[in-house]
Amino acid sequence: MNHLPSPSELQALVNDTYHQFRDLPGGENASYIPYLASVPSELAALVVVTADGDVYQAGDSDFGFAIESISKVVTLALLMEDVGSETVREKIGAEPTGLPFNSVLALCEHQDKPLSPLVNAGAMASVSLLKADNPEQRWQRILDMQRRITAGNVTLSEEINQSEQTTNFHNRGIAWLLYAAGNCFCDPMEACEVYTRQCSTLVTCKDLAVLAATFANKGVNPVSGERVMSRDNVAPLLAEMTMEGLYDYSGDWAFEVGLPGKSGVGGGLLAVAPGKCGIATFSPPLDESGNSVRGQRMIAEVAKALNLNIY
């Protein structure tokens, strides 16, 4: 078992890695959600939070950006608390799709079952399976979990939400396909509307690193000290992240970096080194799979330098 280096060495690694990759060329902001196209592409941040709650940060680590698909792991954590990981596996799935995050083909080839809670179809199914009496309660439970797992002041951005709710026609189509097959467990437009809101909250890179560190710390937020999920649910959740966290690049990511990860089209990316630390990055330009180009390089570098590969 290797240990993390001293605080000054860790901060130097974070600084050096950030400066090495913050201007790396390549990729483009997501543009299918109008708001995301307008975020300055040159913003960048790298944050490491240890399983003890120590924070090492560089760059724009307090800039608020759209959480997007990283919200899927938060809702999944909440859902596993509600119904247990086996029910998630049975009703939604635990396999990679090998296809893009919003693929209809992936659904059609599997009797409209999502396979993974981390693609759009599975994330809407997850929202629909949460215990809630009405849409507002469904939403508030998710927002509350986003706040508890980050120990951050996460808020809904009305601007992002408006931008997404008025352009999410593809996701609405997916929600109806799920519903028709019996794989959506509330009104499909409620599932889509609440899912879209959960993607539209503002988080910082530091929030995401605390989120990742909470998984690294077996479900206890190391900054607030609160247990936000049971220890037993952490391993199946990290397994889902390994299989689908970076979508159709997840296999290459496991091969190269060897850490469960999760990306969002807002430019956020995080990785979990169990028992050691959470690593998060922010940089809007994305590759073809929807993963931050600079973020991937920063996390790969930190993971290599700290010998974090779990395989």
Known binding residues for substrate are 69, 120, 164, 171, 195, 247, 265
| Residue from 59, 64, 93, 264 binding ligand DON (CB under 6 A) | 264
Helix, strand counts (H, E) of the chain: 14, 8
**Does residue 283 interact with ligand DON by CB under 6 A?**
no
18 binds ligand DON (CB under 6 A): no
Pick between residue 184 and residue 306 the one whose CB is nearest to ligand DON. 184
Q: According to CB under 6 A, which one of 17, 57, 61, 120 is a site residue for ligand DON?
A: 120
We find the least distance from the C-beta atom of residue 69 to ligand DON, in angstroms, to be: 3
Which residues fall in the annotated binding site?
Answer: 69, 120, 164, 171, 195, 247, 265
DSSP string spanning 199-240?
Answer: HTEEE-HHHHHHHHHHHHTTTB-TTT--B-S-HHHHHHHHHH
Q: Are 116 and 95 in contact (CB under 8 A)?
A: yes
From CA 4, how far away is CA 196, in angstroms rounded? 38
Q: Which residues contact 178 (CB under 8 A, 6 or more apart)?
A: 107, 112, 114, 121, 124, 125, 128, 184, 188, 191
Residue 189 to residue 171: CA distance in whole angstroms:
10
Near ligand DON by CB under 6 A: residue from 121, 290, 300, 303: 290
By CB under 6 A, the residues from 51 to 80 that bind ligand DON are 68-69
How far apart are the C-alpha atoms of 268 and 205, rounded to whole Å?
7
| Closer of 50 and 120 to ligand DON (Cβ) | 120
128 near ligand DON, judged by CB under 6 A: no
Angle at 37 between CA 162 and CA 244, to 5 degrees: 85
- In angstroms, what is the minimal distance from the CB of 290 to ligand DON? 3
Q: What angle do CA 241, 246, 249 make, to 5 degrees?
A: 125
Sole binder of ligand DON in the list 15, 20, 41, 102 (CB under 6 A): 102
Among residue numbers 137 through 196, which ones bind ligand DON (CB under 6 A)?
Answer: 164, 171
Chain residues that interact with ligand DON, rule: CB under 6 A? 68-69, 101-102, 120, 164, 171, 199, 263-265, 290
